[in-house]
Amino acid sequence: MKIVLFLTGLILLLGKQGSAYSEVQLALKTPRSCSKPQVRQEFRELPKEQWTAFIDALKSLMKREPQKPSLYDEWASFDATHSDEAKGYAPFLAYNRLQLKAFEQALQVTHPNVTLPYWNWTLDAEHPETSPLLTAEYLGGNGEAPRGCIATGPFKDYQVPSAKGFDCLKRSYYPGPSIAPFATREHIEKTVLRTRRYDQLRQFLIYAPTNAVFHGIGGQLMSQEPAQDPIYWLHMAYLDKLWADWQKKDKSHQKSVGGMLRDSSIANLQSSIPGSQHKIADVMATRDLCYEYGAGSGKGKAAR
């Protein structure tokens, strides 16, 4: 039976000391049909109007009412709360796929035709700081002294929740002013996608490549809520694409799962996904969730 995700909503709860907070809740239901899956494209492949719609959808989630967190704040908080339950354990790839689909549908509340783009950073591996994504036309570049606030791009004035109230969105390239190289496509092809075991794939994706991106760009990506930087979502979408690519390489990969759970038992298709009431089996195929990935050649619309 095919399934898709939908966002049940943000239920306002009353926290301790009278502070209000929202809790993201996810659910699955059977779709009427999915004859034409949506296609998530590498950001360079998006026409200008589609990229603009994606940015507008993000900004809609980021709108705040007085004394209340934005919906975007809640997504970042949800990820910070549940990602640690997933990242060190077998369900990570399923957790990531579940969350990305639900986040994409949150964007579609105001912009129904928007899909979540991904960043194929292997195309920028040698000199990541020169990626079009890190320019004013896309998501802005490095932070500036003395505080590391980004000064370009659509989110240069965005304020991130902090212990003192709000602060600017920050980045701090390492080692600076350039970014240390990322994993190349050759490395991904020879080392990651050739692995035969699901859990080995998971460990490859979540550790070395992700650490390189997060450490290299720094700032918000190295904080307790990395999802406050929109770059986070494009990176995580690429990890999901790589899992999908691996699943396509061999029929035995399509239902392959394994590795350790937090209780030290071995994961299987009926293991729970952290932060939800759903099982790993629910998200094993992107087409069952009514989306797929474009190839992402890097020969798209980036040079406008």
Instruction: Please state the domain count of the chain.
Output: 1
Asked if 167 and 190 touch (Cβ cutoff 8 Å), the reply is no
The torsion of the CA quartet 178, 179, 183, 185, rounded to 10 degrees, works out to: -50
In a domain, residue 299? The reply is no
Residues 98-136: tens digit of each pLDDT: 999 999 999 999 999 999 999 999 999 999 999 999 999
In a domain, residue 267? The reply is yes
Asked if 74 and 10 touch (Cβ cutoff 8 Å), the reply is yes
Mean pLDDT value of segment 243-255: 95
Helix (H, G, I), strand (E, B) or coil at 161: strand
Smallest CA-to-CA distance from 243 within 117, 120, 73, 97 is with 97
Helices 48-62 and 92-107 cross at an angle (nearest 10°) of 90
In a domain, residue 300? The reply is no
The more confidently predicted of residues 63 and 7 is 63
Helix/strand number for the chain, H first, E second: 7, 8
> What domain range includes position 273?
4-293
Question: Longest Cα pair distance anywhere in the chain, in angstroms?
Answer: 55
Q: ∠ CA 253-257-262 to the nearest 5 degrees?
A: 160
Confidence of residue 304 (pLDDT cuts 50, 70, 90): very low
Mean pLDDT (the chain) is 88
What pTM was estimated for this model as a whole?
A: 0.90
Cis bond leading into 274, ω under 30°?
Answer: no
Q: Hey, what amino acid is at 25?
A: Q
Please tell me the predicted confidence (pLDDT) of residue 303.
Answer: 40
Please tell me the predicted confidence (pLDDT) of residue 166.
Answer: 93
In a domain, residue 304? The reply is no
Percent of the chain scored above 70 by pLDDT? 87
- Return the bridge partners of 9, or none: 25
Mean pLDDT value of segment 187-193: 90
In a domain, residue 253? The reply is yes
In a domain, residue 302? The reply is no
* Pairing state between β 159-162 and 143-144: unpaired
Mean pLDDT value of segment 53-77: 94
Residues 135-188: tens digit of each pLDDT: 999 999 999 999 999 999 999 999 999 988 999 999 999 999 999 999 999 999
In a domain, residue 41? The reply is yes
Residues 217-240: tens digit of each pLDDT: 999 999 999 999 999 999 999 999
CATH number of the domain that residue 250 is part of: 1.10.1280.10
Q: Is the pLDDT of residue 76 over 80?
A: yes
Contacts of 278 (CB under 8 A, 6+ apart): 26, 28, 98, 272
In a domain, residue 298? The reply is no
Please tell me the predicted confidence (pLDDT) of residue 169.
Answer: 98
Please tell me the predicted confidence (pLDDT) of residue 1.
Answer: 36
Asked if 224 and 214 touch (Cβ cutoff 8 Å), the reply is no
The more confidently predicted of residues 217 and 85 is 217
Mean pLDDT value of segment 247-263: 94
Integer angstrom CA distances of residue 198 from 238, 258, 259:
17, 6, 8
Q: Is the pLDDT of residue 252 over 70?
A: yes
Confidence of residue 15 (pLDDT cuts 50, 70, 90): very low
Mean pLDDT value of segment 47-56: 98
